[in-house]
Amino acid sequence: MWHRLEEAVQRLQAVERELGQSVEDPVRLRELGREHKYLSPIVTLYRRWQRLDEAWRQAKAELEAARDPEWRDLVVEELERLAQEKKSVEEALKLALLPPDPDDDKSVILEIRAGTGGDEAALFAGDLARMYQRYCEKRGWSWQLSDYTEGNAGGYKELIVEVRGEGVYSWLKYEGGVHRVQRVPQTESQGRIHTSAASVAVLPEPEEIEIELKESDIRKDTYCSSGHGGQSVNTTYSAVRLVHIPTGITVAIQNERSQIKNYETALRILRARLYELELQKRRAAEESLRRSYISTGDRSAKIRTYNFPQNRVTDHRIGLTLYNLDRVMEGELQELLEALRLADQTQRLAQMEAAS
């Protein structure tokens, strides 16, 4: 680890020198910025560890030279405090040295779809959307609705949202998968508890240079947008459907009255879905990630259960149960997400140490 830390110091100095020069290439500038953001906290922690280690060595020398019993007791206490603080910083350094997810700083396309459960599933999808919107508001992230289809009794059959802000993907990536709800539906007259589900997909939004789209690979269809009952609500062909011919991925957007805006939105979503497809291929080829389902966004995995009668939420990936579902549904997700991030880091650290 110490050899890697010295390399991090040298690399940070090289990055800062290059940033101090005139870097005209925007791709290179972005790469340097990301590397600087990764290395800076590592070097800061390492400098702190070095200061603690020097203080510990000085205290140890004082202990060896001390003759007064009371003074020796004070020095022993200081040695113990410094040793504990050093150990804490060492643990933080191990986590900081983990290779960063290159997508962590990206904004995301958040897709929520009702699953099994009919009208109740659509209502639950709406509840999830509201939960995430509240969480994004607390984090100061922007929430822009791209397209949606309402459920027959309320909620959403499908909802697509663009979430933008610093570190959005680094937190929301843990939300991909099947979310299950257990509660008494509004339509249930006997008071029986039903189980329904909704799926969440979290797609990192790539830069245009990361996913090249050829016009020849895209079929564009335009049509009149329709209302929730199927009636036409726009006499112009503003709705847009894009089909990526090589993969068959289809994106249809009709939320805006402008065909240009719908096209631009559809293009961003298509690019994000293609990028996710590439990520899935990459993850499938990496055994260490294939064993981890904490942050891979596996859509088929049941990740969480929301039990309303017991005010309980359980995350099945890490076995965490909280009895504050009412607050979670109001967007207080941070405790859950921090536990997932810690579990993810711990697992990656164990895999890295096992491989070394």
> Per-residue confidence of the chain (356 residues) as pLDDT tens digits?
788 889 989 999 998 998 888 778 887 888 888 889 889 999 999 999 999 999 999 999 999 888 888 899 999 999 999 999 999 999 889 888 888 888 888 999 999 999 988 899 999 999 999 999 999 999 999 999 998 999 998 999 999 999 999 889 999 999 999 999 999 987 666 778 889 999 999 999 887 667 778 888 999 988 877 654 444 445 567 888 999 999 999 999 888 778 888 988 998 899 899 988 888 777 665 544 434 445 444 556 799 999 999 999 999 999 999 999 999 999 999 999 999 999 998 888 887 777 66
Contacts of 45 by beta carbon, 8 Å cutoff, 6+ apart = 89, 92, 93, 96
With contact defined as beta carbons under 8 Å apart, do 309 and 303 qualify? no
One-letter amino acid for residue 327 of the chain: R
- Total-model pTM: 0.76
Buried b or exposed e, range 125-151, using 16+ CB within 10 angstroms: bbbbbebbbbbbeebebebeebbbbbb
Instruction: Please give the backbone phi and psi of residue 160, each rounded to the nearest 5 degrees, phi first.
Output: -125, 125
Beta bridge partners of 158: 113, 149
Residue 201: what pLDDT?
Answer: 92
Residue 196: what pLDDT?
Answer: 93
| Number of alpha carbons in the 13 Å side-chain half-sphere of residue 225 | 20
With contact defined as beta carbons under 8 Å apart, do 131 and 104 qualify? no
Residue 1: what pLDDT?
Answer: 79
Burial of 114 (0-12, 13-18, 19+ CB in 10 A): buried
**Angle subtended at Cα 329 by Cα 326 and Cα 331, rounded to the nearest 5 degrees:** 120
Contacts of 99 by beta carbon, 8 Å cutoff, 6+ apart = none
Strands 239-244 and 312-315, by their bridges, are unpaired
Distance of CA 249 to the CA centre of its chain: 23
Residue 236: what pLDDT?
Answer: 66
Closest CA to 240 of 219, 212, 216: 219
The sign of the CA dihedral 293, 299, 305, 306 is positive
State how far the Cα of 117 lies from the Cα of 188, in Å rounded to an integer: 12
SS3 call for 22: coil
Q: Which token pair is 64?
A: 């060896």
